[in-house]
Amino acid sequence: MRRPAAILLAAALCAGPLRAEEHYGCGQASADGTGKFHHGREIARVMGHEGIDWLERDSRENEEEPSRAIEALALKPGDTVADVGAGSGFYTFRLAKLVPQGKVVAVDIQPEMLDFLERRASDLGATNVQPHLGRIEGVDLPPESLDVALMVDAYHEFSHPREMLESLLIALRPGGRVILLEYRAEDPLVPIKPLHKMSEQQIRTEVEAAGFDWKATHEFLPWQHFMVFTRPEKP
């Protein structure tokens, strides 16, 4: 099976010198990891487009209650929202209904995911969904073009999390929000592989180091942290 580009890049990095990537370290790769570390956390391997069926599984609402998470976003009808690591668009198309005068930019680095999103947008007539090919180092969106950036169970797989966050810091308007949903590492009963879970403290350490302000952590979801950060109003 073809390995995703992010895994190959991380493997290449950790096979040689760290070059200019001063935010990262290398070590022995675990079974589900890349061998690349950020603030002591091993970055997980990427779920490829082959995992679309799991993302779209019928049991997801009962297991994760995404409808509650979407309601808690408190979006405004004219908001521009980036669904970063959009995957199959499970969240994208639900968000699009809440921003009829705005849009949802569905960002992914896998062309196969974007092809799937484009077909679904056409089938649903979702004219305010914009599939967008990002890079492993950033979202490549215009400065101050976003009101909200949402990352659902994706951040832990980013091969360049610091650069991705810094690109969002640029793309968000002052005061704009970053919302992270990540499976809770503190809870051994959450039935997810360890490297695909994160603790609240680890998330705060990484996101605040990139320049964001932590605002709140909510624990109303069965499996996931719901964490809110903002771009500072002033640099």
For 135-192, write each residue's pLDDT tens digit: 999 999 999 999 999 999 999 999 999 999 999 999 999 999 999 999 999 999 999 9
Is the distance from CB of 131 to CB of 161 less than 8 angstroms? Answer: no
Specify the number of domains making up the chain: 1
Is the distance from CB of 68 to CB of 56 less than 8 angstroms? Answer: no
pTM for the whole structure: 0.89
Quick check: 17 pLDDT over 60? no
CATH of residue 92's domain is 3.40.50.150
The answer to whether residue 16 sits within a structural domain is no
How far apart are the C-alpha atoms of 123 and 221, rounded to whole Å? Answer: 30
The answer to whether residue 184 sits within a structural domain is yes
Residue 81: domain span: 50-230
The answer to whether residue 14 sits within a structural domain is no
